[in-house]
């Protein structure tokens, strides 16, 4: 275990002092019980490495689901001064605007018997392509793709996938400005043509579940979450398009670093000044990928509704499946925050971290103004997920950010070894959870034991007052890659 | 399931991702073996034939960038052209001051779902911890993939 100069600030906050080339300290949010696990890999060192980057403000932050990444840790948050700071593709990640949409319905768990759930999961599996290199839900041509890249989820709505009511409750309204398709390589575009509406592989999933427990009646009611009601969670991102945008930018920036005299402990942290040609090109391309992911999830959301209609023979009015909220957890954005007592625009990087705005913030949709922005924290496929809301503390301490999920504790190979010859699909079916996976190997790699208990992560962000619990959801059926 | 790794390859487990440590007698062989090790992660190489041949040329500002570009190029072609490669022949590595170039021919075939299983998706080849070292016995490299 590396020897960190770690100072306990309180029961949920730990600080790595500023040493060597660090420009600011690094701060970890975790309970004492989680600390050994967190310190056992290099993630805290990665948080300290991020603190070396030019123009970083306040502290390099690590959420309680922090784990080893490449360059930035997963669960890392860093904000940069727009004049003196940098933009870093590695601070966003390859899966640009990977995120989570939560939908809720009028149906209750008791309305679905086992055969209904099986039919529903099968219908989802047919309508939402999953797995390695999944494609084919919807193919666009080269003339159409730029509209997707500029308009995001609004493009999908224009094409008949969902409605404006969905857009009202997506982060950024499902579309960021400043996306420039000319800033994106032909390779990225090629990869983007046939992957809209697809889930992908790895930890991406689409889950049907139900509201198991409510902790905050007022907030839950505002979100249309009622105990026992059926929900759907979609976790996916910008697919091959986003990976390519990141890959291209890392290569550009790796070449340009010398020019700007930026020296960093890890080349994967490659970055250039925000206002440099390389930085601006990345920002314009990243915004295309952000919009691509918004469009991707919007199409999948509508196909989820169609699966409910087909499998359960219901009309839209009968199932009432509506979007509660959609968050992005791999993203860089310009936002207004308080720095040294004064309001300032900063460039916030969230890599495996979720925006968590408090009640009353102007960017929170009208219907959530009194309760705060919903935050969606998926757990593993066998246990539970949480809905939280943002707080004033998150706004003042973490640039309005909180955790994003459970975080793995086993490598994929270790998970396969642990599962051995177990039939994971049958085990989950015994617990009432229907799983359909394109690959048995992926399902095995995603066993519950491979993940930390998301309840611990949520306890830490609640203890630190970065978010508050609203509801717990439990799974009924899952489709995986 | 994949067979046991050859003695020149060590697979490193990371919580989210996969890393490889490769050794070789020469620098071209290091690049060839790194590519072979990457495709071992993606599929069972025993099932892949070498019916198609392609020439690949990549450049980078140093050896590390060249390794990232080389593996990224192969992964891109695998992803977009739906091919699997199992044999790699690095013809030349030219090292100038600020522009390193690699030329290779690679051999494989189109993915046939009836014969090939693609185990996983490599999102990207990262620069993280990537280090190419010349040792007394030859060369070594560590590469980490984002899965």
For chain B, which residues lie within 8 Å of any Cβ of chain A, measuring from their own Cβ? 11, 13-18, 60-61, 64-65, 68-69, 72, 76, 79-80, 82, 117-121, 123-124, 126-130, 144, 146-147
Q: How far apart are CA A237 and CA A296, in angstroms?
A: 7
Q: What is the mean pLDDT of chain A?
A: 95
B82 contacts on A by Cβ (under 8 Å) = 133
Residue A365 has pLDDT above 80, yes or no: yes
Q: Determine the pLDDT at residue A462.
A: 98
pLDDT value at residue B1: 47
**Chain A residue at shortest CA distance from B80:** A191
Q: How many CB pairs under 8 A join A and B?
A: 97
| Residues A378-389: tens digit of each pLDDT | 999 999 999 999
**Which tens digit of pLDDT belongs to each residue from A291-338?**
999 999 999 999 999 999 999 999 999 999 999 999 999 999 999 999
Reply yes or no on whether the pLDDT at A2 is more than 70.
no
Q: Does A42 touch chain B (CB under 8 A)?
A: no
Q: Which architecture does CATH list for B12-146?
A: 3-Layer(bab) Sandwich (3.55)
B-chain residue closest to A202, CA distance: B147
Q: Give the model confidence (pLDDT) of A425-440 as tens digits.
A: 999 999 999 999 878 8
Q: How far is A172 from chain B (nearest CA, A)?
A: 26
What percentage of chain A carries pLDDT values higher than 90? Answer: 86
Q: Which domains are seen in chain A, by residue range?
A: 6-480 (3.90.1860.10)
- The confidence score (pLDDT) of residue A217 equals 98
Please count the residues of chain B: 147
- Res. A34: pLDDT tops 70: yes
Across the range A16-42, mean pLDDT stands at 93
Residue B2 has pLDDT above 60, yes or no: no
* Catalytic residue list contains A142: no
Show the tokens assigned to B114.
């009836």
- Which tens digits make up the pLDDT trace of A276-296? 999 999 999 999 999 999 999
Residue A25 forms contact with B (CB below 8 Å): no
Residues 220-249 on A with a CB inside 8 Å of B are: 240, 243-244, 246-247
User: What does the block give as tokens for A392?
Assistant: 């004033």
Contact A222, A205 (CB under 8 A): no
Q: Hey, are the CB atoms on A70 and B126 less than 8 Å from each other?
A: yes
Q: What is the pLDDT of residue A1?
A: 52
Q: What are phi and psi of A371, to 5 degrees?
A: -115, -20
Contact B75, B145 (CB under 8 A): no
| Predicted pLDDT of residue A112 | 96
Q: pLDDT at residue A36 above 50?
A: yes
Of A70, A191, A442, the CB nearest to B80: A191
Q: Which residues of A touch B124 (CB under 8 A)?
A: 94, 243, 246-247
**B85-137: pLDDT as tens digits:** 999 999 999 998 878 999 999 999 999 999 999 988 899 999 988 989 999 99
Q: Which two structure tokens, joined as six digits, stand for A302?
A: 């509508």
Burial pattern A336-360, b for ≥16 Cβ within 10 A else e, equals ebeeeeeeeebbbbbbbbbbbbbbe
Tell me the pTM. Answer: 0.96
pLDDT tens track for A117-138? 999 999 999 999 998 777 777 9
Q: Where are the domains of chain B?
A: 12-146
**pLDDT at position A413:** 85
Residue B42, both tokens: 């993606």
């Amino acid at each position: 275990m590396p020897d960190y100069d770690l100072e306990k600030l309180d029961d949920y906050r730990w600080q790595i002092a500023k040493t060597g080339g660090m420009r600011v300290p690094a701060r970890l949010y975790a309970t004492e019980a989680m600390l050994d696990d967190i310190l056992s890999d290099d993630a805290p060192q990665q948080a300290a490495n991020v603190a070396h980057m030019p123009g970083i403000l306040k502290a390099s932050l690590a959420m309680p689901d922090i784990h080893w990444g490449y360059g930035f840790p997963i669960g890392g948050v860093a904000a940069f001064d727009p004049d003196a700071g940098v933009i870093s593709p590695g601070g966003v990640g390859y899966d640009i605007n990977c995120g989570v949409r939560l939908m809720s319905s009028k149906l209750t768990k008791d309305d679905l018997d086992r055969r209904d759930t099986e039919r529903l999961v099968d219908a989802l599996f047919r309508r939402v392509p999953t797995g390695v290199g999944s494609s084919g839900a919807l193919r666009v041509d080269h003339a159409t793709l730029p509209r997707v890249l500029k308009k995001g989820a609004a493009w999908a709505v224009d094409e008949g996938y969902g409605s404006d009511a969905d857009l009202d409750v997506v982060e950024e309204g499902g579309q960021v400005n400043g996306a420039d398709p000319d800033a994106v390589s032909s390779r990225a575009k090629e990869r983007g043509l046939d992957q809209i509406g697809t889930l992908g592989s790895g930890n991406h999933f689409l889950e049907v579940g139900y509201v198991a427990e409510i902790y905050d009646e007022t907030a839950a009611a505002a979100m249309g979450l009622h105990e026992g009601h059926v929900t759907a969670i979609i976790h996916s991102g910008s697919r091959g398009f986003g990976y390519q945008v990141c890959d291209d930018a890392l290569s550009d920036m790796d070449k340009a670093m010398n020019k700007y005299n930026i020296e960093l402990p890890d080349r994967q942290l490659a970055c250039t000044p925000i206002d440099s040609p390389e930085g601006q090109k990345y920002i314009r391309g990243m915004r295309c990928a952000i919009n691509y992911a918004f469009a991707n999830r919007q199409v999948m959301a509508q196909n989820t509704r169609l699966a409910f209609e087909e499998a359960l023979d219901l009309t839209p009015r009968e199932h009432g499946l509506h979007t509660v909220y959609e968050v992005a957890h791999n993203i860089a954005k310009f936002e207004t925050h308080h720095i040294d007592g004064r309001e300032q625009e900063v460039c916030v990087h969230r890599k495996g971290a979720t925006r968590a705005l408090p009640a009353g913030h102007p960017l929170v949709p009208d219907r959530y103004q009194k309760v705060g922005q919903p935050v969606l924290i998926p757990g593993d496929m066998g246990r539970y997920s949480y809905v939280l809301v943002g707080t004033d503390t998150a706004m003042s301490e973490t640039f309005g950010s909180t955790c994003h999920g459970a975080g793995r504790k086993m490598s994929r190979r270790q998970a396969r070894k642990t599962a051995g010859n177990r039939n994971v699909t049958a085990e989950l079916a015994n617990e009432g959870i229907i799983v359909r996976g394109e690959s048995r190997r992926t399902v095995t790699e995603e066993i519950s034991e491979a993940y930390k208990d998301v309840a611990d992560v949520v306890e830490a962000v609640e203890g630190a007052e970065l978010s508050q619990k609203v509801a717990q959801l439990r799974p009924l059926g899952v489709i995986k890659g | 399931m994949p067979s046991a790794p050859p003695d020149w390859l060590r697979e490193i487990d990371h919580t989210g991702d996969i890393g490889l440590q490769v050794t070789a007698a020469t620098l071209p062989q290091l690049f060839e073996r790194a590519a072979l090790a990457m495709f071992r992660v993606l599929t069972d190489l025993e099932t892949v034939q070498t019916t198609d041949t392609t020439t690949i040329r990549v450049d980078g500002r140093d050896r590390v960038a060249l390794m990232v570009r080389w593996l990224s190029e192969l992964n891109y072609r695998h992803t977009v052209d739906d091919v699997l490669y199992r044999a790699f022949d690095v013809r030349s590595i030219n090292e100038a001051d600020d522009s390193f170039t690699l030329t290779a021919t690679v051999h494989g075939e189109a993915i046939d779902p009836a014969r090939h299983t693609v185990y996983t998706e490599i999102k990207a080849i990262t620069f993280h911890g990537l280090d190419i070292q010349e040792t007394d016995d030859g060369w070594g490299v560590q590469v980490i993939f984002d899965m």
